[in-house]
Amino acid sequence: MLRKRIIFTLIYSDGFFMQSRNFRLQKVGNLTWLERNYRFQKIAFSLDELIVLNASKNVKSMLQFAETVSELVNDVFIPIAAGGGIRSEEDAEMLFNHGADKIVLNSALFEKPELVESLIKIYGSQSIVASIDYKKSEGVNEVYINDGITKIDIPLEEYLKYVESLNVGEIYLNSIDKDGTGFGFDLEVISEMVTKIKMPLIIAGGAGNEMHLSEGLKINGVSAVATANLFNFIGNGLPKARKKIIDSGINVANWT
Amino acid sequence: MTVVIVDYGMGNIRSIKSTLNYLGVQDVIVSFDPKVLKNGDKLILPGVGSFGKAIARIRERGLDVCLNELVVNGSKPILGICLGMQLMGISSNEDGINNGLGLVKGLVTKFDNTHLKIPHVGFNQVMINNKLKLYNGFEEEADFYFTHSYKMTSSYDISQCHCKYGDDFVASFENNNIAGVQYHPELSQNNGLHVFRNFLEKF
């Protein structure tokens, strides 16, 4: 049986890893800090995948970001997806060459669908993760691109179908309202949206503890849960959470 | 030992290289030069990308002829990974119908079960009913990481191990010096390291 996945998302900006809350970034530490507090070589056995996102609101340096990705992937034998600011085939190629197994696209889905198409031709659908950020306003789920700055005029459900029609590999659905709050996933919207699409869905935004991850994993049709909460899962937080999840009988891989 | 990762210029081969280094292989060469392939002790045909583009690049570089020479006429061990395994098959219907390298009697087709989420992504169980060299030391089943939209099937005896996603498909095959895995051993934690170790030591 196909297992569900637990993913950690690292938010990166201009040389530092960040804690994001409602897309406002707070600097936490650099690579040395991360290695001291999150030994990925050690805790990788608690994770199915790692996602690294460049959320810098300045001009994004693809090379600097790619070099950070390449530092992260050494001796970590799990899939790494990287993205943030990919606007050309060269950007994508640079990330793949620096150790990314998949790339994450967001604004390009809306602004450059022809780029998405050509990347799929080269790297295959399964290498493309489509990231979608949304926020609720007066009962409508509105979609944002450009790191949560630009609102687009297509409601979430319609946008999900549009993104699915681009033939990407997976969808990473992130609630801006829940982002970094630690209050739990946006279960209501997720439970509704998961029924509208057929491709694998990764949910993000709000998970602050093991119980939240479990709640997300239990939703029928959700393929993976992601957390970017550097504070709540520090040290052995992730190994502990995974163990509890496995012990509770949820269908995630157990390698030990 | 020298392991050559066959480079057709697509996707991430760095994780395979770093896995081999981690397992103690000092000489890991990434190349598409037939001379380099010939001098390697073992070959890895990696796998990211789409079938049509990959097989075209392989032919452009004359690697199809070279691989046939080395692994069919010769006995150089080769491991195909994911798309690399699919490329070893007879044909695929990704990007129209394309012939593969014909190293194994397998056909590659898209997952066509409408109830399934495609691509098939994540850890899934492989039934190790054929305990050949690749699975030396394994139990009857093990979890490996998959990510693919196309799958190989075969009605021939290609010493296959199956994985189930909707229907059964070929998770791996092994024929003397030629082996292929649909999953990514380089992304499959300890189980993947174990398969690599078997390929390095038993082939």
The model's pLDDT over B160-203, given as tens digits with 9 standing for 90+, comes to: 999 999 989 999 999 999 999 999 999 998 899 999 999 999 99
Q: Which of B120, B148, B184, B194 is catalytic?
A: B184
- Mean pLDDT over A8-33 rounds to 94
Q: Lowest-pLDDT range, A107-121, B46-60, B137-151?
A: B46-60
Q: Indicate if the alpha-carbon torsion angle A204, A255, A77, B141 is positive or negative.
A: negative
Q: Quick one: DSSP state of residue B43?
A: E
Q: What's the pLDDT tens digit per position in A120-143? A: 988 889 999 999 999 999 999 999
Q: Is A186 a catalytic residue?
A: no
In the predicted model, is pLDDT for residue A48 greater than 70? yes
B81 and B185 in contact (C-beta within 8 Å)? Answer: yes
Q: Which residues of A touch B148 (CB under 8 A)?
A: 126
Supply the pTM of this predicted model. 0.92
Q: Residue B47's pLDDT is what?
A: 80
CA distance to B11, B31, B42, B88, per residue, from B64 (Å) = 19, 14, 16, 10
In the predicted model, is pLDDT for residue B8 greater than 90? no
Three-class secondary structure of residue A107 per DSSP: helix
Q: Which residues of A touch B192 (CB under 8 A)?
A: 77
Q: Hey, of B21, B189, B190, which one would you mutate to test binding to chain A, going by the most A CBs within 10 A of its CB?
A: B189
B9: confidence class by pLDDT, cuts 50, 70, 90 = confident
B11: confidence class by pLDDT, cuts 50, 70, 90 = low
* Of the partner residues B14, B22, B189, the one whose CB lies closest to the CB of residue A255: B189
Q: Indicate if the alpha-carbon torsion angle A233, A72, A127, B16 is positive or negative.
A: negative
Q: Residue A155's pLDDT is what?
A: 96
Q: What's the pLDDT tens digit per position in B52-75? A: 989 999 999 999 999 999 999 999
Alpha helices in B23-130 (DSSP H): 34-39, 51-60, 63-67, 83-87
Q: Which residues of A touch B49 (CB under 8 A)?
A: 122-124, 127
Three-class secondary structure of residue B56 per DSSP: helix
Q: What's the pLDDT tens digit per position in A66-108? A: 999 998 887 788 899 999 999 999 999 999 999 999 999 999 9
Q: What is the ipTM of this complex?
A: 0.87
Taking only Cα atoms into account, the Rg of chain A, rounded to an integer number of angstroms, comes to 17
Provide the shortest C-alpha distance from residue A121 to chain B (in Å).
6
CA angle A58, A108, B51 (to 5 degrees): 130
* Of the partner residues A73, A124, A170, the one whose CB lies closest to the CB of residue B49: A124
How far is the C-alpha of A20 from the C-alpha of B137, rounded, in Å? 44
Q: Residue A41's pLDDT is what?
A: 72
Q: Residue A226's pLDDT is what?
A: 97
Closest by Cα among B5, B11, B74 to B44: B5
Please state, as a whole number, how many other Cβ atoms lie within 10 Å of the Cβ of residue B91: 17
DSSP string, B141-164: EEEEEEEESEEEE-SS----EEEE
In the predicted model, is pLDDT for residue B48 greater than 80? no
With a CB cutoff of 8 Å and minimum separation 6, the contacts of B178 are B71, B72, B77, B78, B88, B103, B104
Kind plus residue range of the DSSP H or E element containing A105: strand A102-105
More confident: B144 or A231: B144
With a CB cutoff of 8 Å and minimum separation 6, the contacts of B125 are A1, B141, B142, B143, B163, B164
- Mean pLDDT over B85-98 rounds to 94
* Cβ–Cβ pairs < 8 A, chains A and B: 121
Strand partners, A173: A132, A203
Q: Indicate if the alpha-carbon torsion angle A5, B163, B195, A92 is positive or negative.
A: negative
Percentage, residues of chain A above pLDDT 70: 100
Closest by Cα among B130, B127, B20 to A1: B127
Q: Quick one: DSSP state of residue A81?
A: E
- HSE on the CB side for A165, CA within 13 Å? 9
- Mean pLDDT over A193-222 rounds to 96
Task: List the 119-158 stretch of B: residues with Cβ below 8 A of A.
Answer: 119-125, 143, 145, 147-149
Q: Which residues of A touch B167 (CB under 8 A)?
A: none
How far is the C-alpha of A36 from the C-alpha of A58, rounded, in Å? 27
Q: What's the pLDDT tens digit per position in A155-188? A: 999 999 999 999 999 999 999 999 999 999 999 9
